[in-house]
Amino acid sequence: MDYKKLIPNRQLRLKILKFTDFLPDKYIVKLQYRIATGRKLNLKNPVRFTEKLQWYKLNYRDPLITKCSDKYSVREYVASKGYEDILVPMYGIYDRAEDIDFSKLPDRFVLKTTNGSHSNILCEKKSNLDVESTRVGLNQWLKAWSGKVGREWGYYNIIPRIICEKYLDKDENNDLIDYKFFCFNGEPVCLYVIVERFLEDGIKLGIYNMDFEKMPYRRADIRELTSKAVKPKNFEKMVEIAKVLSKDFPHTRVDLYNIDGEIYFGELTFYNGSGYKGYLPDEFDFIQGENFILPSLIKS
């Protein structure tokens, strides 16, 4: 069942889900997994990657995950690992949209909430920005989003704020390619390469191995990147960054950008797709599951 087609308005979906906040996480996770995948969730002996992500949400409680899920406080973590130079320059951090002095911002910038998903505003020309509607939208995001939506524990204790960062330049194809490294105990095993994020048809996604060879798998819900992506400059440095930033966690996704060899940090994500997104062929869910060794199964 695709509940997004049944209720296409995202804000309405979030409001509906808020009515279930009082229900136990385990109950909702099982229900959402069944709705999204059509399968019963196995939490006692999870094998699939999507199953293990549900276990991760319900059982792994390292406060560092909260720190690194916060799009502002994660900057301190990245800097502590020696990678302050890859942080996107920041213009400000705000508790509410009314605190933003747009007159002091450059002509191009990005606004996003520290605890949100799909809550970004990309301003390419400030004179074209409707400031009042932007403020309304940002405040709605601050109120609407909650880790309770997907029962993603890492977001529960984040203080919702607004962060303003530099607008990253697009490449010669008017694109900003996103490289998302899937890492397990500090070892990247594959990555998503996401292109065409600014086109009306939506993004394309390819899954690549660590030799930057396209793998015969795809996300079931996203258009496949069928053309061969060009290996970015300084790819080996990107891999090393992903190793360092992920080594404190059983699993995290390290998102990076690469603009003509200059690497920028995107975010750390612990619950990719909230663990509800499938793959084609389905075997990739099991392959990623083998890579994900849950903390209770790690031998000291």
Q: In what order do the strands lie in the sheet with 90-94?
A: 90-94, 162-165, 109-113, 120-123
Buried b (16+ CB within 10 A) or exposed e, 19-37: eeeeeebeebbbebbeebb
Taking every pair of Cα atoms in the chain, the longest distance, rounded to a whole number of angstroms, is 57
What does the pLDDT look like over 118-147, one tens digit per residue?
Answer: 789 999 999 999 999 999 999 988 887 666
178-184/251-259 β-pairing? antiparallel
Q: How many CA atoms lie within 13 A of 178 on its CB side?
A: 19
Q: What is the pLDDT of residue 197?
A: 84
What does the pLDDT look like over 224-239, one tens digit per residue?
Answer: 999 989 999 999 999 9
Residue identified by tokens 């136990």 is 24
**Identity (one letter) of the amino acid at 257?**
Y
Contact partners, residue 283, CB within 8 Å, separation at least 6: 217
Mean pLDDT across the chain, nearest whole number? 92
Rounded (5°) CA angle 256-247-275 = 65
pTM: 0.93
| Of 140 and 57, more confident | 57
- The mean pLDDT value for 241-252 works out to 98
